[in-house]
Amino acid sequence: MIIDTSQISQIYLVCGKTDLRKGIDGLAGIVQEQYDLDPYSQALYLFCGTRKDRFKVVPCQ
């Protein structure tokens, strides 16, 4: 997936360990429930797993 960076208004780095086995819907749920943010806004959410060299991104729509 190629992300158009001109459409991104904010970038959030979610600190702490996240289970990266969750799909995009599960991670979007974390954004919505734990952080009270809109996962469908023009923002980019970066999640870190237990290993420090792996990230998963919830892209903007």
- Would you call 26 helix, strand, or coil by DSSP? helix
For the stretch 4-61, pLDDT in tens is: 778 888 999 988 888 889 888 999 999 999 999 998 888 899 998 888 788 888 876 6
Looking from the CA of 17 toward its CB, the CA atoms found within 13 Å total 4
| Distance (Å, whole) CA 48 – CA 61 | 21
pTM score, two decimals? 0.80
- Give the position of tokens 């600190």: 15
The domain locations on the chain are 5-50
Contacts of 38-41 with C-beta under 8 Å, sequence gap 24+, read 41/9, 41/10
Asked if 20 and 51 count as a contact pair (C-beta separation under 8 A), the reply is no
* Percent of the chain surpassing pLDDT 70: 95
